[in-house]
Each structure stands twice: as structure tokens, then as C-alpha cells.
């Protein structure tokens, strides 16, 4: 029985995955994420106002991108993963959106004070770089994955917490304030992601490389067996889903004095 389970989980681990697309799990309701208390596209729209917009790409569908082109004067998308660049460039070019590649964690490939709005969804950011590429009175709008997310999985599998386990709303707010931003809006949502079988967790973890960087079925199999027994008894396993939202405004030099 254990060998059969091992083979099944390895198949889940090896299943192809396309950029944040969890439809494989969600369409069969093997994984359910409780909805956030905000709708990110609705948060963004009031701030576009025919300005120039930079979007750090992550989990945005074609409808979201179409709204940017209709509301902003110019939209540029920043892609940080080379293997996704070819897939995303042509569809967005067809919408009139320029796609630019930039290494994750590196300096942004733009001149100073290029954009009126910068939108960041679930991607790390450097506050100094955000400030540099925004014009005075520009807006930074970000939804972040908080450090509490999925922490139970690390405990279950007996591995170290994630490198971003201390990433919190207040930490991000303080960073922005120290760089001369005024905080316009903040929200935080702590809910649950529910998994209904152990294979769904394996598939999820192999895509979330920051959660457990060296995760593999082979390394974690004994702990996965223990998790499966609990899930079989309870019918599911819940882990924390932690997100926070910030809208911040870059003040003019005069206001910062």
C-alpha cells in the first residue's frame, strides 16, 4: 500500500504546472481557498485615471489586463520569469501592453519617475525601487502573501519556517513610511486554504517553491503518510491563508521636508 501511495504522490509531484494556475485542484474542489475580503481589481481602478501604469505580473487574467488598457494612458507589465515571458508577451502585446523582463530582486529596468501608478500582486518589492520609478504623488498598490501563510505545512513536514515567515502588514507599512510614502489604505485577511487529499498538498507544495524549497515526495514521504491518515479521519486539512493590502502615495519633496 505504501508503495502505491508513493507512486501516486510522485505522479502529482511531476504533473506539469502553468504559472499560478491551480484550476487542476480547484475545478475538482480538491483545494478550496476562502475568498478575500477585497477584490484586487476593484481596489486598483480608482487610481488609474489615465496615468502611466507599471504592473508586476502575477495572477492577473485577461479581464484584469483589459481594464488597465481602458483606464490608463499606458500600461507596462514586468515579468520576472523568463520561462513565462514568451507565453505572456504576445497576448498582452495584443492588448497594447508592453512586456518588459526584469530579474526578480534586481533593480527595476526603468528610468526614474516613469510611472504614476505601480501595481504589485503577491510579489516581493524593494521600497527604494518603488519610490525611484514612481512620480511624485504616484500610487503604489500591493497585495502581499503574509508570513503566516501555509505555516502549518512546514510544521507537519518538520522543516524550517519559510524565509518570509516574519513578513507582516506592519513591517511593510513601516518600510513605506520610512521611504516617504503616505499610507492611504490597509487591509488584512487571515482565512483558510482547505485541502481534501494528500495528493493536492503535494501538487501545491511543488509549485510553492519558497514555502519548502527542497520539498520532494521522497524526502517527506513518512510525514506525508502521517498527514494522509489525519486527512482520512477528518476529511480535510486546513492551513492558514494570510494576505494583506496596502495603497500608498509617494509624497512630493515639499511634503517630505
C-alpha to C-alpha distances, 167 to 73, 142, 228, nearest whole angstrom: 33, 14, 29
Predicted confidence (pLDDT) at residue 91 exceeds the cutoff of 80 = no
Q: What is the pLDDT of residue 253?
A: 67
Predicted confidence (pLDDT) at residue 58 exceeds the cutoff of 80 = no
pTM above 0.85, yes or no: yes
Condensed to tens digits (0 to 9), the pLDDT of residues 156-200 reads 999 999 999 999 999 999 999 999 999 999 999 999 999 999 999
User: Which residues on neighbouring strands pair with residue 206, listed in sequence order?
Assistant: none
Condensed to tens digits (0 to 9), the pLDDT of residues 113-157 reads 999 999 998 888 999 999 999 999 999 999 999 999 999 999 999
Q: Is-contact 134 140, C-beta < 8 A? A: yes
C-alpha to C-alpha distances, 182 to 131, 139, 170, 179, 245, nearest whole angstrom: 12, 9, 14, 9, 14
- The band of 21, judged by pLDDT with boundaries at 50, 70 and 90, is low
Q: What is the pLDDT of residue 57?
A: 66
Reference 243, options 172, 169, 171, 185; nearest CA is 169
Reference 76, options 96, 106, 105, 46; nearest CA is 96
Amino acid at each position: 500500500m505504501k508503495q502505491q501511495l508513493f507512486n501516486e504522490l510522485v505522479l502529482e509531484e511531476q504533473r506539469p504546472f502553468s504559472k499560478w494556475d491551480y484550476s487542476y485542484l480547484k475545478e475538482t474542489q480538491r483545494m478550496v481557498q476562502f475568498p478575500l475580503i477585497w477584490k484586487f481589481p476593484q481596489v486598483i481602478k480608482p487610481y488609474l485615471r489615465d496615468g502611466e501604469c507599471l504592473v508586476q505580473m502575477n495572477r492577473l487574467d485577461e479581464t484584469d489586463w483589459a481594464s488597465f488598457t481602458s483606464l490608463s494612458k499606458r500600461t507596462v507589465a514586468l515579468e520576472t520569469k523568463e520561462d513565462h515571458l514568451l507565453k505572456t508577451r504576445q497576448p498582452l502585446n495584443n492588448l497594447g501592453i508592453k512586456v518588459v523582463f526584469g530579474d526578480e530582486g534586481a533593480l527595476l529596468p526603468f528610468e526614474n519617475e516613469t510611472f504614476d501608478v505601480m501595481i504589485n500582486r503577491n510579489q516581493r518589492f524593494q521600497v527604494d525601487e518603488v519610490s525611484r520609478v514612481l512620480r511624485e504623488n504616484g500610487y503604489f498598490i500591493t497585495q502581499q502573501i503574509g508570513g503566516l501563510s501555509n505555516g502549518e505545512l512546514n510544521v507537519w513536514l518538520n522543516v524550517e519556517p519559510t524565509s518570509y515567515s516574519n513578513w507582516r502588514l506592519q513591517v511593510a507599512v513601516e518600510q513605506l513610511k520610512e521611504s516617504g510614502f503616505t499610507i492611504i489604505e490597509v487591509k488584512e485577511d487571515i482565512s483558510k486554504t482547505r485541502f481534501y487529499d494528500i495528493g493536492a498538498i503535494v501538487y501545491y507544495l511543488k509549485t510553492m517553491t519558497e514555502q519548502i524549497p527542497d520539498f520532494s515526495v521522497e524526502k517527506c514521504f513518512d510525514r506525508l503518510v502521517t498527514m494522509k491518515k489525519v486527512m482520512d479521519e477528518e476529511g480535510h486539512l486546513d492551513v492558514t491563508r494570510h494576505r494583506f493590502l496596502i495603497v500608498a502615495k509617494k509624497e512630493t519633496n515639499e511634503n517630505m521636508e
